[in-house]
Structures are given as C-alpha cells and as structure tokens.
Chain A
Amino acid sequence: DVKVTQSSRYLVKRTGEKVFLECVQDMDHENMFWYRQDPGLGLRLIYFSYDVKMKEKGDIPEGYSVSREKKERFSLILESASTNQTSMYLCASSLPPADGNTGELFFGEGSRLTVL
C-alpha cells in the first residue's frame, strides 16, 4: 500500500515563526501536492511538484513556499506564520494519469497547525 507520512499531526506555533511541514511518500510517485483544508471551503491546492526541484503554484500559494530536494520528500514552509494560516494541511502524492492508472491522489493523515 502507498504510504504518505506527514511528520507532525499537531503543531502550535506563534505568529511570525517559521514553520516546516514535512511529507514523505514511499511509492516513487512523481507528483506531490500540498492542500489546505478549511470547513466549508474543501481542499484548496497550495503548491504541487511534478519532479525533483520542480514546483508550481496552486490556487493559494501566498504566504507559503515549498521544497522538493528528493523525489520522496515534499516540504511546505511558512516563512512567517500568521493566524489566518491556522488550518489542516494535507500532503498527497500520485502517479501521472496513464492507462490503468487513475492518477488518484494518496493522502497523508494531515497536519493540524494552530498559529497563536
């Protein structure tokens, strides 16, 4: 089974702190994603990556950056955390869609971040 592991299930940080959210997948997937989940808003894409050292902005990249130095690892960085970044963050990985492959996303368990 695909395993997507997020390093922290719960974090509490203060406004202005730098925050790192780490995600590792063990199935050699090319694609990795960071989503933010808020009640009533569903999952919104922050950043994604098709390959090592490659990144693309999603719908809500402001206030975030990412790093993908190795294929299995995709990190989300909040340079200076703010209270409006209090949320659930979900990492996902996938293979590119192809015959016999839906391109479905496999998700980690999520990291709930509270910024005070």
Chain B
Amino acid sequence: GQQLNQSPQSMFIQEGEDVSMNCTSSSIFNTWLWYKQEPGEGPVLLIALYKAGELTSNGRLTAQFGITRKDSFLNISASIPSDVGIYFCAGPWTGNQFYFGTGTSLTVIP
C-alpha cells in the first residue's frame, strides 16, 4: 500500500504557540485531506485540498498542497488547549480508497 510519512510524530507545545506538521507521499496525489481525531472519537475532516499549490484556511488552521503533489503541510496558529488530538493526513490511492499518514499527536500545555 501507499506510504504516507507524517512528521513530527508528536508535539508538546505551550498554549499560544504556532504548530507546523507535514506529510509526504511516495506517489503523486490529486487530493490531500487533513483530519483531526480527538481523544475517544473518530477522525473528523478539517481541510480538503484539490490543486497543487493550493492554500486553504479553516479558522486558525491553514493547509497547503505541495507543488510536487507529493507533500502537504498543516499549520495551526495561536494554539489553544482544545487543539489537542491526533492529526492525520490522507490521500486517495484510487477513486474510493484513502491512505492515511502515521499521525501527529499534539499536546497543548495551558
């Protein structure tokens, strides 16, 4: 299957700090998705990206579709305690399947 490498694996930050994480693929993707999984819940879609170079925001979250189409980035500005969770990138392998990154676990210290 596809390999999506996500980094960093975990982050411990102070409230108010900015966060950056990225995801790289061994293949070209036409879509990148970013999900967040809160403790005890299933992942929920945050941002969807459809075009190389695209930059999309959702509140304090900003995601970019890398121009090589093999990578994507997620930034969170001015983190707050409710940002805690695991963030996953995902990309479609075929029209219906998605492959997920290994996840970035975010802890925000008040």
Q: Which residues of A are interface residues toward B (Cβ below 8 A)? A: 4, 31, 33, 35, 40-45, 48, 50, 58-59, 90, 92, 94, 96-97, 102-105, 107-110
Q: How many residues of B contact A (CB 8 A)?
A: 26
A42 touches B102 (CB 8 A): yes
The residue from A4, A42, A97 contacting B101, defined by CB atoms under 8 A apart: A42
Contacts A42-B103, A58-B1, A59-B1; is A31 near B42 (CB within 8 Å)?
no
In the docked arrangement, what's the CA distance between A44 and B103, Å?
A: 12
Chain A residues contacting B31 (CB-CB under 8 Å) are 97, 102-103
In the docked arrangement, what's the CA distance between A58 and B97, Å?
A: 9
A96 touches B95 (CB 8 A): yes
B101 touches A105 (CB 8 A): no
Chain B residues contacting A35 (CB-CB under 8 Å) are 100
